[in-house]
């Protein structure tokens, strides 16, 4: 089953929706315009139920199939943009300085709307599907907020599926894997306290900048020398702060960074190792240090059965050779992980072609990927909830 003809027919319409979302990006939970347009279109398509305000500005639509089945699966798209200034120069570029759809959520939203249009027209399935339009994926944890607002229980969702465009993968290809496909995204905050003084008398101080400089390098040994090399982790220092004047040695310094892991055990190990390592290292210089470890999005873990199923659906759309069922995981984070922690499901990568990378100011979602993504959503529903 290739790309659906009907979907290909209204690809320009879906692309127009996408361009409108792209030109009017909104951040975090403040996606009122986007959510309003989404809800209006879902109602116009004839969805059986459209509920707004879940998790603040989330929207959920329910479509019933032609059969009598009650089993419900969920399909999720994210709606929010990033606090960046766009430099694509495209006709549909952002009209708001400092806001940009640099991760393709405009495309995700438009594709799920396209699936809603098709599914309400055909209803060739036996059961129910919940279309989940989520705010605040970009750092706001909107997926968890929707869960806390009763998303899964309120709609009795048994399985959940997500999709993300992926630059560098050709249009018309998919990538997926069982287990961790996107990383846990944690942060650490280190406070170093030494002894300040005059910059001309360093011997009378305990210089926290020296401690911080040495610590930045030493922290890398937690991954390179403490962790099994067959396991994956990233520990990156992203900020070092100290001092206020060029003739004063500061009393304090701060180090901030991120940890990315694909396994809960590795995540636990690094958190524990930081708590042990940081104060001991500082004491070797005569300083004191403490570390605060803040867990963010968990690992995005694809369930085996649902991953195999999703891969089989993708193969029907684009052919076996165009589906990598053992795709490399990403060290980026994704709050769809919260939903996958509560229900079995799968998260798949959709080829975006030779675009620039996600989260860059020249990125744009590839409209040629729209029919592929919409066809995947439609066929997933029809195959998961088959008519007798």
Binding residues for Mn(2+): 103, 105, 138, 164, 359
**Annotated binding-site ranges:** 103, 105, 138, 164, 359
234 contact partners, CB below 8 Å, separation of at least 6? 183, 223, 258, 259, 260, 261, 331
- Convert 331-345 to b/e letters by CB count within 10 Å (16 or more is b): bebbbbbbbbeebbb
Closest CA to 74 of 5, 159, 146, 17: 159
In the block, residue with structure tokens 């059965």? 305
Q: In the chain, how long is the greatest CA-to-CA distance?
A: 84
Cα separations (Å) of 178 from 92, 245, 253, 273, 296? 37, 52, 42, 28, 22
- Provide the CA 352 distance to its chain's centre, in angstroms: 16
* Number of CB atoms found within 10 A of residue 253's CB: 25
181: exposed, middle or buried (C-beta count within 10 Å: 0-12, 13-18, 19+)? buried
d(Cα 52, Cα 151) in Å, to the nearest integer? 11
- Provide the CA 130 distance to its chain's centre, in angstroms: 20
């Amino acid at each position: 089953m290739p790309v659906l003809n009907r979907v290909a027919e209204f690809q320009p319409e879906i692309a127009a929706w996408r361009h409108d979302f792209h030109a009017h990006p909104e951040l975090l939970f403040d996606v009122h315009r986007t959510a309003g347009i989404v809800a209006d279109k879902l109602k116009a398509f004839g969805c059986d139920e459209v509920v707004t305000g879940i998790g603040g500005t989330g929207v959920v639509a329910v479509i019933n199939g032609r059969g009598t089945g009650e089993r419900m699966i969920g399909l999720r798209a994210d709606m929010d943009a990033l606090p960046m200034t766009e430099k694509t120069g495209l006709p549909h570029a952002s009209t708001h300085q400092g806001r940009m759809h640099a991760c393709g959520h405009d495309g995700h939203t438009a594709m799920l709307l396209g699936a809603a249009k098709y599914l309400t027209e055909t209803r060739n399935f036996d059961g129910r599907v919940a279309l989940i339009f989520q705010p605040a994926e970009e750092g706001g944890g909107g997926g968890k907020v929707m869960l806390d607002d009763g998303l899964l229980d309120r709609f009795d969702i048994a399985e959940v599926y997500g999709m993300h465009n992926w630059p560098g993968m050709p249009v018309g290809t998919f990538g997926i894997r069982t287990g961790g496909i996107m990383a846990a995204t944690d942060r650490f905050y280190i406070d170093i306290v030494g002894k300040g003084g005059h910059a001309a008398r360093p011997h009378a101080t305990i210089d926290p900048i020296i401690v911080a400089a040495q610590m930045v390098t030493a922290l890398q040994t937690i991954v390179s020398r403490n962790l099994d090399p067959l396991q994956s982790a990233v520990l990156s220092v992203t900020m070092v702060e100290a001092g206020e004047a060029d003739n004063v040695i500061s009393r304090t310094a701060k180090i901030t960074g991120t940890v990315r892991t694909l396994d809960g055990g590795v995540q636990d190990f690094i958190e524990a190792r930081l708590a042990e390592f940081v104060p001991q290292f500082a004491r070797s210089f005569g300083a004191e240090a403490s570390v605060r470890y803040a867990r963010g999005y968990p690992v995005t873990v694809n369930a085996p059965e649902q991953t195999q199923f999703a891969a089989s659906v993708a193969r029907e759309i684009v052919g076996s050779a165009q589906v990598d069922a053992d795709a490399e995981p990403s060290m980026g984070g994704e709050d769809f992980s919260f939903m996958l922690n509560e229900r079995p499901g799968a998260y798949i990568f959709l080829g975006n072609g030779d675009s620039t990378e996600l989260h860059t100011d020249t990125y744009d979602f590839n409209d040629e990927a729209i029919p592929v993504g919409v066809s995947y959503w439609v066929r997933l529903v029809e195959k998961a909830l088959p008519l007798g």
